[in-house]
Amino acid sequence: MQKEMAYSFPDEVLKHVFTFIQSDEDRNAVSLVCKSWYEIERWCRRKVFIGNCYAVSPRMVIRRFPEVRSIELKGKPHFADFNLVPDGWGGYVLQWIAEMAGAYPWLGEIRLKRMVVTDESLELIAKSFKNFKVLVLFSCEGFSTDGLAAIAASCKNLRELDLRESEVDDLSGHWLAHFPETCTSLVSLNISCLGSDEVSFSALERLVDRCPNLRSLQLNRGVTLDKIANILRRAPQLVDFGTGNYAAELQPDVFSNLAGAFSSCKELKSLSGFWDVVPAYLPALYSICPRLTSLNLSYATIQSPDLIKLVSHCPRLQRLLVLDYVEDSGLEELASSCKDLQELRVFPSDPFGAEPNVSLTEQGLVAVSLGCPKLQSVLYFCRRMSNAALVTIAQNCPNLTCFRLCIIEPKTADYLTLEPLDAGFGAIVEHCKDLRRLSLSGLLTDHVFEYIGTYGKKLEMLSVAFAGDSDLGLHHVLSGCESLRKLEIRDCPFGDKALLANAAKLETMRSLWMSSCAVSFGACKLLGQKMPKLNVEVIDETEPPDSRPESYPVDKLYIYRSVAGPRFDMPPFVWSMDEAVKILH
Amino acid sequence: MELQLGLALPPPPLIPIETFDLNSYGNYETREALGSNALSWPLLKLGPADNDINNIHHHNSSSSSSSSSSSGGGAGCKKRSFDEAPFFDEKRNVPKTLHLLLWTNQPNDEDDDPSNVLHENSSSAIFKNDGEGLVGWPPVKTWRKKVHHQIPNGGAENNRLPAVENGIGGRASKSTYVKVKMEGVPIARKIDLSVHHSFEGLTNTVMRMFGICKIADGNRKIFKLTYQDREGDWLLAEDVPW
């Protein structure tokens, strides 16, 4: 029987069928069917996603998938965004590039997030991959404009260069001029993270001129408002545009030039940038507002009345990022104008101020939940919350997939009842059955974790700060959340018991971060010894953890599953608990 | 408190040993506010509760965990590989591998549990200025901290932002942490400026952090403290008053 099957489906046919299978999950399933499918599949896998660059070694990836064309790697833990991971922790991409340079001559796409990328890495990319098309450096660091010049000069068919939120060393503004005149292939260019001096505007104009397929362009802050019209007129086919500064003295001719330039962009759907906004120039956008689906005003320090006016012109808006200057009144207007809204992010204008500087409360979010039935993703910074509001939001928005609430003052109770916010968050996890991501804040007891463990069956990522009473809280989450992949915790009274009792759970997750909790050094060592497929890393910048009693808590703990064993690039302040690594530096 | 190893495989069906009484955690109103009876069933389903944490059985229990990784031939690099492994039983709350500690459903003992004391110690390490100056809180990316240093009241014309290196806010910021880098050392450190009152104190702390030991007074002349001002220029710290 099997022989017949083999003859009726030759490898080439299977290979062809597999090319239609794009998702990683499906490909993994295919590879488990039988040995021959595993073999065929691995030779035709073109795209690899590695959520933790230390979970596997480059050599292992290359050995299994010899013909990869596109790779995505993530490095540092998420809390690195908030300065909780010391500099020098790791996440270096160089070794990956070096090994892939030899093994994947046809590699065309590299996407990195939170990794350290040096100029040497960029130069190696530039000279190793003849068909290089896509470079995305999301929240990366360690490189300068020299490295960018190498990429620009060598990559003849570059389609995408996206440096969003990366930290770039400004050495010279002329790297853009290194794109050869023959380069006409750019589709997407995001240089919004660069400082004022780092971009030669004339080089940029010429580049935009000769790239007719440019669809997405995010300028850096140094580009002034008068120059925006020039760029737009050269690229009316843009779909996604990030302005630089949006400020200038109000002059009628500048205004009408700008308005005309915007109106010539018939495909424009997404806007961002808007540093330093002069509100009087916002009406220049009105002609394209009816088509806008995405608006990022999170750097725009404009007040609620101006925001309301703008937003009321955008009935098709699906995604809005804004500062809390929008206030409750602005969000109420949003709720009545933008019925298609799917994602809302409200950032704090004064995160460190003790007193509220704007009138933004839980009411704004409640209004949006009432008015926007398609709401799926929320990130909301505010200063007060109530269980009643959270229950209302949960009932209004059962389709939420991502709910991140940050009440600025830690351990803030329900402002109406002075109780913990357990019931409110409980309602969120109970009603929003597809919730994949949740961030908690406010006063919370172990109860909230009980709810989360009970209802959060699809929860993949959970962020916790200043919450819980005891190990029971952590135990609820680790034992209840079946889909949990990433858990990050800071300043919670969680200790050894829950962690050790659920040690096996950690092998089913990508990673666990715990800082300023109560996990002892002894427990870390035990985990490291007994769980060989976990890398247990203790981070302590002040002194070695073994210079203190074993019962003393560790400062920061990062645990992740890995088939590559302990890593070799740990800095002096990171200690591996792996038994094989005997030397604690 | 010495940690004891409790390596044990949980018994196959999960027996709810004790229903965890929510009442003991107080707050009836919260359950009723939810308006559902969903939480009336026991939430802690575990292996046999062993009140004596010292009851240990040692096991060579690595076999079941290693088998899950060998399926798919070294499926280490796919993000879903562990979920796909046929040996992982998704129906159970607890995977069929080892516990390192048998869960006892006793709440943390206040007396001999060092975690309370430790929590205070660890939080005091973060709360340097009486609860202000928390590192990484609120969770706002450095990018965004650099933007919000304006006085919003009709300041639309006045949109010149100071280029702040370290995320210290404008008028009302409480964060006083700065990054300190030493030439030749790849790792930067963070220092809280507000606990220092003089250049001498600051220099001493910096030297201690970078492991420069003081040999009489000689060293202080070799190392110089510099800072970067708003325009990005590096200046000698001691040229200006504290």
Interface of B with A in 115-134 (CB under 8 A): 115-116, 118-119, 121-123, 125-126, 134
Chain A residue nearest residue B151, CA to CA: A301
User: What CA–CA distances, in Å, run from A457 to A426, A507, B3?
Assistant: 13, 18, 31
Q: Do A491 and B69 touch (CB under 8 A)?
A: no
Residue A331 has pLDDT above 50, yes or no: yes
Classify residue B27 as exposed, middle or buried by CB count within 10 Å of its CB (0-12, 13-18, 19+). Answer: middle
The answer to the question of residue A227 being in a domain is yes
**Cβ atoms B127, A76 nearer than 8 A:** no
By the 8 A CB rule, do A453 and A477 touch?
A: yes
Q: How confident is the model at residue A172 (pLDDT cuts 50, 70, 90)?
A: confident
Instruction: Residue B167: list chain A partners with CB under 8 A.
Output: 83
The closest of A452, A406, A446 to A425, measured between CA atoms, is: A452
Q: Which two tokens stand for residue B53?
A: 């944490």
What is the count of residue pairs from A and B with beta carbons less than 8 Å apart?
304
Provide the pLDDT confidence category of residue A321 given band limits of 50, 70 and 90.
very high
Q: What burial class does residue B193 get, using C-beta atoms within 10 Å of its C-beta: 0-12 exposed, 13-18 middle, 19+ buried?
A: middle
Query: Where does residue A221 fall: left (phi above 0), alpha (psi -120 to 50 degrees), or beta otherwise?
Result: alpha
- Has residue A180 been placed in a domain? yes
Distances from the Cα of A53 to the Cαs of A24, A69, A74, A95, B76, in angstroms?
Answer: 17, 17, 6, 11, 11
Per-residue pLDDT tens digits for A290-302: 999 999 999 999 9
Task: Tell whether the model's pLDDT for residue B187 goes beyond 80.
Answer: no
The ipTM of this complex is 0.88
List all residues of chain A from 89 to 128 with a beta carbon under 8 Å from chain B.
Answer: none
* Average pLDDT value for chain A: 94
Question: A346: part of which helix (H) or strand (E)?
Answer: strand A343-347
Give the separation between CA A238 and CA A232, rounded to whole angstroms. 8
In sign, the C-alpha dihedral spanning A97, A103, A105, A108 is negative
Residue with tokens 């000069």: A153
Torsion sign (Cα): A433, B83, A452, A382: negative
Residue of A41, A84, A349, A516 to mutate when probing chain B, most B C-beta within 10 A = A516
Residue-range definition of the domain harbouring residue A237: 169-289
Cβ-defined contact of B77 to A302 (cutoff 8 Å): no
Contact: B78, A82; criterion CB under 8 Å: no
Q: Is residue A74 part of a domain?
A: no
Higher pLDDT, A228 or B186: A228
- The reply to whether A191 falls in a domain is yes
Where does the pLDDT of residue A196 fall: very low under 50, low under 70, confident under 90, or very high at 90 and above?
Answer: confident
Helices (H), A408-535: 422-431, 446-455, 471-480, 496-501, 503-506, 521-530
Residue A210 lies in a domain: yes
Closest Cα in chain B to A457 = B93
Chain B contact for A39 (CB, 8 A cutoff):
no
Give the pLDDT confidence score for residue A9 in this predicted structure: 75
pLDDT above 90 as % of chain A: 90
User: What's the Cα-to-Cα distance from A441 to each of A77, A238, A406, A502, B122, rounded to whole Å?
Assistant: 20, 39, 5, 24, 19
DSSP state, A181? T
C-alpha–C-alpha distance, residues A27 and A46, integer Å: 11
> Residue A252 falls within a domain, yes or no?
yes
Q: Residue B135 — left, alpha, or beta (φ > 0 → left; ψ -120 to 50 → alpha)?
A: beta
Q: Which of A407, A461, A359 is nearest to B138 (CA)?
A: A407
Span A229-238, average pLDDT: 96
Which residue of A38, A381, A502 is in closest CB contact with B73? A38
- Other CB atoms closer than 10 Å to residue B35's CB: what's the count? 11
| Number of structural domains in chain A | 1
Q: Tell me, yes or no, whether A234 lies in a domain.
A: yes
Token pair for B11: 């018994």
Q: Is a pLDDT exceeding 80 seen at residue B57?
A: no
